[in-house]
Amino acid sequence: MTSTAASRPHRLRRRIVAAAATFLLALAAVTAWALDRYVLDHVEVANASAYEAEVAADANEPALATAATDDTDAVAEDAADITVTEHTYGSGDDQATYYVADVVLSDITQLRSAFAQDAFGENIVEYPSDIAADVGAALAINGDYYGFRTTGIEIRNGVIYRDEPAREGAVIYADGTMEVYDETTTSAQELLDAGAWQTLSFGPALVDDGEIVDGIDQVEVDTNFGNHSIQGDQPRTAIGMIDANHYVLVVVDGRSSESAGVTLTELAEIMTDLGATEAYNLDGGGSSTMVSDGSVVNVPGRRGEERGTSDILWVG
């Protein structure tokens, strides 16, 4: 007859094995979910540039259809006027280096968006300089990294790609003006009907009607797994409107001994000092990149290496 005491080690080992198996199964499930959510490509629209041209042609908008084929010379008689300059903000250990692209457009269709690998969807990434080269951009900055999330209103080059209102956004209209808005109070179709050319979904809004927005250093853009705080001194990217068809695109270096980065309020101050009456924060951190005439002009990331992102804003 087997004693109770003698059987206990066997039962204990079985429990340990069962617990280990359960843990490994749970770990495998979490790993599979994380890979699917944050790593594996999920293409919703392949060959986006051709899709945009088709949508514009179906809508009987020949100018936008031409823009979607990257022949911007046919869209606007005059080329965009682009001036890129380097500046510093602050002093000592808090000093930051930032780059300003002052862009005067003859037509808003010269300010375009492009997707990594010319495809819309989740987790599709490419270096900003490579996306810029793909479309022949004279100037480009990283966009809102829409592919990291599944929410937001995304209208690009006059075409609706996503209609999942969630946060404070920015919209650029066909008349060359820009405004910040609450996505949850409208829809992509309503914005398109009002003349939206581009929408961006990251934030927060920095400047509205010429005034720095209150409380921006307490805003959280996302709270999903893997997202880092956007508060404190960070590398930044922003877009601002000085006047219709007159924009400033700003990239701030950070997280290095040469450039500390800036807070959101400091970024807003930079934008108002440049004359922006509306300004909006785009994806920052390691994504912050400015490309001019094929070369990266800032020092992105921790070691000056670009990080793959899902989209850019660019001017031909």
162 neighbors 152 (Cβ within 8 angstroms): yes
Contacts of 140 (CB under 8 A, 6+ apart): 114, 128, 129, 131, 132, 289, 290, 291, 312, 313, 314, 315
- Domain ranges in the chain? 8-40, 77-315
Q: Is the peptide bond before 128 cis (omega within 30 degrees of 0)?
A: no
Mean pLDDT to the nearest integer, 123-147: 97
Determine what percent of the chain falls in helix, strand and coil, rounding each to the nearest 5. Answer: 30, 30, 35
Give the model confidence (pLDDT) of 22-45 as tens digits.
766 666 555 654 555 566 667 899
pLDDT at 5 over 90: no
Q: What is the pLDDT of residues 137-177, one digit of tens each?
A: 999 999 999 999 999 999 999 999 999 999 999 999 999 99
